[in-house]
Amino acid sequence: MGVHWQEAGRPTDKITRHTMNAHPSSEHAAFVQHMFGRIARRYDLMNRLMTFGQDRRWRRFVVRQAALHPGDWLLDIATGTGDIAFEARRQVPDLHIVAADFSLPMMRVGQLRESRLRGNGRRPLAWHAADTLHLPYASNVFDAVTSGYLFRNVSDIAGALAEQVRVLKPGGRLVTLDTTPPPRGLLRPFIQFHLRVIIPLLGRWITGQADAYRYLPESTLNFKTAEELADLLHAAGLVDVGYRRFMLGTMAVHWGTKPAPTQRPASRDSAISGTMSRPVGPSPDRSVLS
Ligand SMILES: C[S@@+](CC[C@H](N)C(=O)[O-])C[C@H]1O[C@@H](n2cnc3c(N)ncnc32)[C@H](O)[C@@H]1O
């Protein structure tokens, strides 16, 4: 499938639909897609409230971990309203950023934000409709792939990781932010109260969609632990895998690097670390990703 890049200087106010395999790949995906469509308008406000405004700090960390350089290509998959993509554009000049999601209402809110934000001469984002399990991009084209709160929502984490690794260039970085089940300890009952009672209440008041904000805590409590997610990154073939927890251990940012063809993935124990490696590899002509 040909995927046409909206060239810089010719920004589009439309989401690139023709790139898309927009149809969710399972019943669960259809449920998730519909749910984010319903809460899109108030999503950003809820995020700030639920995280006490801390989410911005974690997104800054995600972008730093992506180790991007001017001129690089970034895919922010499950971009939603574009928080990570906008942060990347703010931190690194001259990036080519593809912001992709399968919820058009979420991306429309993001586009509205973009039209209000001062771009300061920075390249506009390319908004693409795409399912993370079937990315409509060639292999080995992105210098980094980021995501925020994606894996908790997909039924096939290994499949989603495999797709992200496929589109990464050798040496490229995968970085992901997600919730993680609260660690055992004295604070756990308070955290569970926040997740199970406060968040659904807030969700009902602010979005009118209490069920969506009951799903969020349940998907958090049932999600992989930070160690398990790191194992999955490693199993997907990434090296230099590491993670850092935030907010009393309820959030985590994970990262890993796609090895160069000659670089064999190391054993699990030696691969999990916080070490960063710089992206390497040729820059393809990407005026059209096909
Ligand atoms: C909780 S929001 C996160 C948005 C943004 N990344 C952030 O950090 O705020 C999760 C997003 O993942 C998207 N999503 C979930 N499953 C997806 C899939 N299979 N393909 C593409 N996007 C997906 C949803 O549509 C939603 O916009």
What's the pLDDT score for residue 263?
Answer: 61
What's the pLDDT score for residue 264?
Answer: 60
In a domain, 197, yes or no: no
Whole-angstrom distance, CA of residue 153 vs CA of residue 179: 11
Structure-block tokens of residue 135 = 């990315």
Query: Nearest Cα to 252, choosing from 244, 260, 263, 242?
Result: 244
Structure-block tokens of residue 252 = 């985590």
With the most atoms of ligand 1 within 8 angstroms of its CB, the residue from 33, 145, 147, 161 to mutate is 33
C-alpha pair distances (Å), 120 with each of 94, 108, 116, 133, 277: 11, 21, 12, 34, 30
Residue bearing the CA closest to ligand 1, atom 13: 78
What atom in ligand 1 is closest to the CA of residue 76?
6
Residue 29, domain CATH: 3.40.50.150
Whole-angstrom distance, CA of residue 24 vs CA of residue 135: 12
Domain that includes residue 118, residue range: 12-181+225-277
What's the pLDDT score for residue 25?
Answer: 62
In a domain, 186, yes or no: no
Contact 97, 127 (CB under 8 A): no
What's the pLDDT score for residue 7?
Answer: 30
Whole-angstrom distance, CA of residue 171 vs CA of residue 282: 10
What's the pLDDT score for residue 262?
Answer: 72
pTM of the model: 0.81
What's the pLDDT score for residue 280?
Answer: 27
In a domain, 216, yes or no: no
Sequential DSSP letters for 145-191: EEEES-GGG-S-HHHHHHHHHHHEEEEEEEEEEEE-PPPSSTTHHHH
Segment 214-254, tens digit of pLDDT: 777 788 888 999 999 999 999 999 999 999 999 888 899 99
Domain count, the chain: 1
Please name the residue that has the structure tokens 């969700």. 203
User: Strands 3-4 and 288-289: what pairing?
Assistant: antiparallel
What's the pLDDT score for residue 84?
Answer: 97
What's the pLDDT score for residue 18?
Answer: 36
Whole-angstrom distance, CA of residue 128 vs CA of residue 133: 14
Compute the distance from residue 186 Cα to the ligand 1 centre, in Å: 32
Whole-angstrom distance, CA of residue 223 vs CA of residue 278: 30
Structure-block tokens of residue 208 = 């009118």
Compute the distance from residue 40 Cα to the ligand 1 centre, in Å: 11
Whole-angstrom distance, CA of residue 95 vs CA of residue 76: 12
In a domain, 66, yes or no: yes
**Residue ranges in the chain whose pLDDT is less than 50:** 1-15, 17-22, 268-290
Segment 34-78, tens digit of pLDDT: 888 888 888 888 888 878 888 899 999 999 999 999 999 999 999
What's the pLDDT score for residue 189?
Answer: 80
In a domain, 240, yes or no: yes
What's the pLDDT score for residue 23?
Answer: 54
In a domain, 93, yes or no: yes
What's the pLDDT score for residue 110?
Answer: 95
What's the pLDDT score for residue 73?
Answer: 98
In a domain, 152, yes or no: yes
